[in-house]
A and B are shown apart, each in its own frame.
Chain A
């Protein structure tokens, strides 16, 4: 079957760095998205990776290893507003999105 695994919940401290991991198993692969979802709000696009390596965008970076079926989202200089769920979604060979359940990130002062 196709599935996405990511931790249910993580806690980090304001100003620190946190890495949220995602492993995927899909029928074919055409890239991976990360979305941020604040409680009670819509998911918003963070990043897209299709090639191996690190994509940096300000405080957020996303990494992909196609051979390992693995991605991570790296958040630096954490701020309280980063408290949210982070959804990983892989794209299969039919360009269908396979969504993870999200990782709830709790930031403490």
Chain B
């Protein structure tokens, strides 16, 4: 069974388009995250949700909007895509409310390429 699954794995789209990435976890965790891994391989947290409530929004453009219909799902919607949005986006979940309190389980990543 896949613990954290996200779709799609690859996404190629044109500038200006709107796209969504879906994420689901079956671990029963209370907290889910979206990370961006850029070309330099740094993982940067974008959002954290605890039981459907946003608890972190790390200065990402408001073109990015997370949506959590329930605590097992955290989707990422991106409006008006720009070239600089090209990166790998990882969904993750953890048991604790706080990002660094316990280990995180990551999805397989979505490689977004904006052309």
Q: A residues bordering B, Cβ < 8 Å?
A: 30-31, 33, 40-45, 48, 85, 87, 89, 91-92, 95-97, 99-102
Contact = CB atoms under 8 A, between A and B. Distances in A.
Interface stretch (B12-20, B41-49, B63-71, B79-87): B41-49
Interface in B85-108: 90, 98-101, 103-108
Instruction: State which size class the interface on B falls in.
Output: 20 to 34
Interface of B: 4, 40-45, 90, 98-101, 103-109, 111
A43 B45 contact: no
- Identify whether the interface residues of B are mostly helix, strand, loop, or mixed: loop
B90 A97 contact: no
B106 A44 contact: yes
5 contacts: A42-B106, A42-B108, A43-B43, A85-B41, A95-B100
B109 A41 contact: yes
A102 B42 CA distance: 8
Contact of A40 (B43, B44, B101, B109): B109
Contacts of A43: 43, 90, 104, 106
